[in-house]
Copies of this chain bind each other. A is one copy, B any other.
Amino acid sequence: MDLELRLDAVIIAVTDGAPRVLGVSNPERARWSLPSATLSDEATLDLAVRAAIEEQAGLEVSYVEQLYTFGDVARRQDRRTVSIAYLALVQETELLVGAEWLGYYDLLPWEDHRSGTHPLIESTIEPLLIAWAGQSEERLARVSVAFGDAFDGVRVLDRYELMYEANLVDEWWADQRLEVTSPVFGESMHLDGRRIAATALGRIRGKLSYRPVVFDLLPESFTLLELQRCVEALAGVQLHKQNFRRLIERAGLVEGTGERAAHGGRPAELFRYRPEVQLERSRLGVGQPYR
């Protein structure tokens, strides 16, 4: 069987209060792709990924981690594409030629619970999934774990895979080579781009509470509210302001700069990330069990 090895990158930023993923346009196709490269001669995979991102998107990334290796047999049965997916975080940046920031919640609308459970879920998605589950106890249980009562932000992939199996996303129809004849949700990406992006969002959400990852997405200095909005954007839920501030201060992750930023109301103090923390005890994140 023919084998191809690729590196795919999920490059994440948070702009205007929304999480984004970098899509590159694909001359032949209508849909956005993830930036992708064949494995170069760099000594380590991490370096190869950074080089590829630099080259394709002209971006310098502040954080890179390996996400997952996808290797299922492709549609063409004679060929297997193994794709090592990486997750990268960058600060707000300009648009790039041939590339665009896609809204994560345009791809996965049901993941945004910042104003309570997403309306689509109760009105449409959950009923359709329950119909799909039918008599199957196992399916019903999966639906209820993934979409049920308490929103578990980390289960992004579980939810996407249910949507896929229940043919509620475009990709299912494409994989079956069928015309779409029933409602599908969210914008799709080329091949399994959206599945990989979903995996990445789940990973980031999980890390949020025990590693200081947000700071790679924020500018040098920021107010506590900006920090909170950034966490909320990724986590997909709203947080309790006073408690958030309490936690951040207790964690000692940031320090005031003395400067202050003015918006509408009382100006907020600007903070910066304390890089010593990286070295210190570092198993600290911005947690979010508030509310």
Residues of A within 8 A of B (CB): 1, 3, 5, 39, 41, 43-45, 66, 68-69, 71-73, 80, 82, 84, 138, 141-142, 144-145, 150, 152, 154, 279-283
10 closest A-B pairs (Cβ-Cβ)? Answer: A141-B279, A45-B71, A69-B69, A44-B72, A43-B73, A69-B84, A152-B283, A1-B41, A145-B282, A43-B72
- Contact status B71-A279, CB under 8 Å: no
B residues near A150, Cβ cutoff 8 Å: 281
Choice from B45, B141, B144, B280 contacting A72 with Cβ under 8 Å: B45
Interface pair B280/A145, CB less than 8 Å apart: yes
Please, which residues of chain B bring their CB within 8 A of the CB of A152?
A: 283
By beta carbon, the residue of chain B nearest A141 is B279
In the complex, the answer to whether B280 meets A141 with C-beta atoms within 8 Å is: yes
- Minimum C-beta distance from A209 to chain B (A): 11
Cα–Cα distance between A144 and B278 once the two chains are bound (Å)? 12
Please, how many angstroms separate the alpha-carbon atoms of A270 and B66 in the complex?
A: 41
10 additional A-B pairs beyond A141-B279, A150-B281, beta carbons within 8 Å, are: A5-B5, A39-B71, A39-B80, A44-B71, A44-B72, A69-B69, A138-B279, A144-B279, A145-B280, A152-B283
Some 29 contacts from A to B, beta carbons below 8 A apart, are A1-B41, A3-B5, A3-B39, A5-B5, A5-B82, A39-B71, A39-B80, A39-B82, A43-B73, A44-B72, A44-B73, A45-B69, A45-B71, A45-B72, A45-B82, A66-B68, A69-B84, A82-B84, A138-B279, A141-B279, A141-B280, A142-B279, A144-B279, A145-B279, A145-B280, A145-B281, A145-B282, A152-B283, A154-B283
